[in-house]
Amino acid sequence: MDHPRSGTSRAFVRDPQNFVAGLVLIGFAAIGWAGTSGLDVGHMGAMGPGLVPRFLTLCLAAFGVFLAATACFHREGTRIGPADFSGVLLVAAIAAASLAVGSVLPAAPDGIPPAAFAFGILYLAVMIGLVILAARRSTFLDRSGLRGPIFVVGGIIAFALTVRSVGLLVAGPLLAIISGAAAPDTKFGELLLFAVGMTAVSIALFRYLLQLPMPVLVIPGVLYL
């Protein structure tokens, strides 16, 4: 939720909300960089599996630096309210619960760490519950500040859980449609066209151009493309 800051301010950070958002993006980029440290980057003549993830983390970090820097010169910024932290607190609570659940799970499919698998299942369950609640109280997700975080992270989790099991042809549209719901004014028809277009580009880029081992479509026991 935005809380306009009236008048001019001599504070070093003129726009606290964008400043914090920039720091969060830099933090995510650092996590992504550390997580891809074991992947071979290769070179432009023979790109390795770590090249694109590393490039994307650098872009994310650069955008975070841009947001944080411009927040110091913004004319009229926005204060940070309690609703701005609701999404972070919710994800943190689910992560804590996942560590507890994952410690008692015997195994997870496809070699996924039990805690990560538990996080995905718990998160999607919470997201579905919030959507049902929002259907009864249409402004709940917007007033609580949960709409953006819950759907963006939910789309990523849905993609992670399906890209290996059913392929990009299903995981791609799931990512686009679920993440697209983060905007309250999203039109389903436009979102569907975007999902189809981005999925086609992703398949052409990652599967055929970069030749990464990402399946396009998987039907267990019937088809592996």
Q: H helices within 137-225, ranges in order? A: 140-144, 147-162, 168-180, 188-202
Measured at the alpha carbon of residue 163, what is the angle toward residues 157 and 169, in degrees to the nearest 5? 120
- Give the span between the Cα atoms of 86 and 92, in whole angstroms: 10
Residue after which a domain boundary falls, among 31, 49, 80: 80
| pLDDT of 8 | 45
4: Cβ–Cβ under 8 A, 6 or more apart, which residues? 76, 78, 79
Is 225 within the bounds of a domain?
A: no
**Together in a domain, 164 and 105:** yes
Count other C-beta atoms under 10 Å from residue 151's C-beta.
Answer: 23
| pLDDT of 110 | 64
The label of the residue with tokens 């607190």 reads 89
Is 164 within the bounds of a domain?
A: yes
Is 156 within the bounds of a domain?
A: yes
**Together in a domain, 57 and 105:** no
**Together in a domain, 124 and 198:** yes
**What is the domain range of residue 115?**
82-220
Measured at the alpha carbon of residue 200, what is the angle toward residues 42 and 32, in degrees to the nearest 5? 40
Q: Encode pLDDT of 125-175 as tens digits.
A: 888 887 777 766 667 777 777 888 888 888 888 888 888 888 889 889 988
- Give the span between the Cα atoms of 123 and 120, in whole angstroms: 5
Question: In the predicted model, what is the mean pLDDT of the chain?
Answer: 79
Q: What is the DSSP letter of 109?
A: G
Q: What is the DSSP letter of 209?
A: I
Residue after which a domain boundary falls, among 48, 80, 112: 80
Phi, psi of 63 (to 5 degrees): -65, -35
pTM: 0.66
**Start-to-end C-alpha separation, the chain:** 44
Residue after which a domain boundary falls, among 80, 96, 112: 80
**Together in a domain, 212 and 121:** yes
Q: H helices within the chain, ranges in order? A: 16-35, 51-70, 86-102, 114-136, 140-144, 147-162, 168-180, 188-202
Counted domains in the chain: 2
| pLDDT of 206 | 82
| pLDDT of 70 | 87
Is the per-residue pLDDT at 79 higher than 80?
no
